[in-house]
Amino acid sequence: MFHFDLEEIKGFWRLFLWSLWQFVRVVSAIQYCRPKFMNPATDFMFQGSWVASILSRACALKFGLA
């Protein structure tokens, strides 16, 4: 009924773990970088906005984290 190829399963897990690792790296980079350019007042304004995500990503790229 169901036929699973071992290579397909390994490929799926590899992709899943790689995606998880990228997510963890980006989140940790954002946590590390956010205090560098935001105080609580601006953080409230920018929270969830694309500006904050771009600034965080730029900072993360600078540190080679994302």
Asked whether residue 51 is domain-assigned, the answer is yes
Tell me which residue range forms the domain holding 31.
26-66
Question: What's the total number of domains in the chain?
Answer: 1
* pTM of the shown model: 0.43
Asked whether residue 9 is domain-assigned, the answer is no
Per-residue model confidence as pLDDT tens digits over 15-59: 889 888 888 877 777 677 666 555 555 555 555 566 666 776 777
Q: How far is CA 22 from CA 11, 25, 60, 66, in A?
A: 16, 5, 12, 7
Please report the pLDDT score of residue 31 as a whole number: 72
CA distance 51 to 32: 17
Query: Are 34 and 54 a contacting pair, CB within 8 Å?
Result: no
Asked whether residue 21 is domain-assigned, the answer is no
